[in-house]
Structures are given as structure tokens and as C-alpha cells.
Homo-oligomer: A and B are copies of this chain.
Amino acid sequence: LVVTKLLFIASKKPNERIWVEPFFEALKEFGELTVVENGANLSEDQRADLIRRSDILLTGWQAAEIPVSVAEDRGGLQYICNVTGSLRKFLPAEIVEAGIPVTNWGDAPADRLAEGAAALLLAMLKDLVRRARNVREGGWKAGQEFYAGTLDGLNLGIYGFGVIGRRFETLIRPFRPVVRVYDPYVADIPETCERVESLEELFERSEAIAVHAGLSDETEGSITAELLTKLPDHGLLINTARGAIFDQDALFAELESGRLRAGLDVLQPDRLPDGHPARQLDNVVFTAHNVGKVYAPPGAPPRLEDMHRICLENLRRHRDGEPLKFLMDKVRYERST
């Protein structure tokens, strides 16, 4: 009986969110796992040697760097499974170019981001944060001075209809919004949505906008001051994509005047400076690039996340000789972080 050798080399400590007990348990099905701590203290040769003597290398947040020499001589290494998304920091391009199969979590974060966007949208529509603050500060019933909207019949525009935008639309569909989509690169739009041909039209016909576009030369700064003026008073913006898609000064001007409302997971730069006046606004909720993250509740036993499930699925595919999901090639690698 040949036992598959799985290896993970942590730069220092193994990341606690990846390395949870149910993941260790589940990996037993696929071989014998060795976890090396403080891999940054090993020499390149020592790391390369460990990797060559294993069948599958697991990587992920806080993994130790893979020596380039592994590209030239991979030894027994068959497959590198990156449990998370980013990999360029520890996985040199040469590894991918040498044809060693490398996968990552692919679209695993999509469901969580879409769920986070839906949560932000509903919370903003129901003004939950302001209501909670009102109660904390001695008030009770929220009167008509509070915002109290519904998704039912709301004119909702989705900017960007990739994996996340699609999933978002699936999540909110039973709430019966009137959905319009702008994405010139997507051919198939479901019957529950109407395609519009320009960003101008999207903003003219929407009461709320959810941004799910990727960042590119085309999308950067594409939500301009002028576009924002097309939204009605109390128009609502949800951004879980990238901050730089907005003209952020224009966005903040609309928020500070109280004319628009927003749930913002992302900004450009990512962090609002200490003492920034927008922190005090009642019509904005900031979630600090964090709304798509899922932790086990403090004190609760950890559970498998999407990233674990995708890794385990790929280990099964590798074992059974099936095509791997989210396989890296040169193009995907170069687009990765």
C-alpha cells in the first residue's frame, strides 16, 4: 500500500482559519499530512527537498515560499493545491510554467461576497444600523424620518454580472426586485433580469445599485460624479467589488450631503483614515473588506468553509484522475494576486 504524502510548509505558524480540526480530519482520506512550522527558517534547499519528497503540496495564507528550483526538479511532486486565492507571494511563475498542476479556491469567495452584499442591501433598506443606534441612545420606534424600504418592486441595478453578480441575483430574486443588469461582456442574462446597454441607463433607471464588476482600465473610476446624480434622492449603493470603480470623492460628497445612501465593503485606499468624518454618517455602513468573511462564532467548534470543500474536491479529483477545478495557467497566474 502506497500512502500519498501531503505537505504544508508554513512560513511561521499555520494559518488558524485554514488549519481547523475538521480539515485535518477530512484530509486523512487523501493521505498522510505533514505540517512544517517556521518554514522561513529553513534553507531553500531544505524546503525544495521536503517538497520533492511529497506527492501533494498544500499552500495557502502564510505558506512558505516555494523555491524556484522545484520548477526544474519536482521530484515526486504531482500537484500543488492552494487552499486559498492569492499565491504569487509564495509560488513563483516558473512553477506554473513548468507544467506542475496548481489550483486555488477559484470562485469560492463568490457565494460569501454575494451573501454579504445581500445582507448590506437589506440592512440599508431597513435602516437597521440607525434603528439600533436610536434604541441604544434612548429612542424607540423609528418614524418616517428613518428609511424603510423594501426590495419588493425596487428598481435594482447590477453593475457586473460575473460569478458574484449572478449569485447575488439568485439570492435576492425571491424578494421580487425589478433587476436590470449592465455587463457588456456577458452574453446570457437570466429572464428575471433586463439587460441595459449603458451605465447611464443603469443609473437612470435604478433606485439601488449593486457593484459586482472586476477592476479594469474600463471600470476604474467608471462611476463618475455625473452618473451618481442620475440616482434619485436616497438612492442606495452597495459596493463589495473594488473601491476604485467609483470616483470616490464624488461618492463621498453625495453621502456627506445625505442625498445618497451606501453599504461599502471596499474603498480606495482600503481603509478610511482615523477621524474621517464619513465614519460618523448615518446613511453609510462600512464593513472594511470583511463582509464576505465567515468565521465560526467565537467559542464554537470550527467548520469546513468553501475553501476547504473546494480543496477536498480537487484532492478527490486528483486521486480519481478527473480534471482539476480552477487549474492555473500562465494567464490566470498573471491575473492572480
Contacts and interface: CB of A to CB of B under 8 A. Distances in A.
Nearest to A281: B136
A274 B139 CA distance: 8
A279 B150 contact: no
Given A173-B174, A288-B141, A290-B141, A150 B234 contact: no
Interface stretch (A75-83, A95-103, A121-129, A215-223): A121-129
A279 B140 CA distance: 10
A82 to B, nearest CB: 22
Contact of A297 (B120, B149, B285, B298): B149
Contact of A112 (B133, B150, B173, B291): B150
Instruction: Give the size range of A's interface with the partner.
Output: 35 or more
A189 interface: no
A144 B323 CA distance: 35
Interface in A235-285: 271-272, 274-275, 279-280, 285
Contact of A128 (B120, B125, B148, B153): B120
Contacts of A293: 148
Q: Lowest 3 A-B CB distances belong to which pairs? A: A234-B297, A119-B122, A123-B123
Contact of A295 (B120, B148, B171): B148
A289 B144 contact: no
Contacts of A275: 138
Contacts of A126: 116, 119-120, 123, 287, 291
Nearest to A291: B126
Nearest to A301: B232
The listed residue with most B CB atoms (<10 A of its CB), out of A111, A138, A293, is A293
B233 A128 contact: no
A327 interface: no
A286 interface: yes
A288 B142 CA distance: 7
Contact of A144 (B112, B132, B298): B298
A147 interface: yes
B233 A299 contact: yes
Given A122-B119, A173-B174, A174-B171, A131 B288 contact: yes
Nearest to A172: B174
B174 A297 contact: no
Contacts of A233: 297, 299-300
A336 interface: no
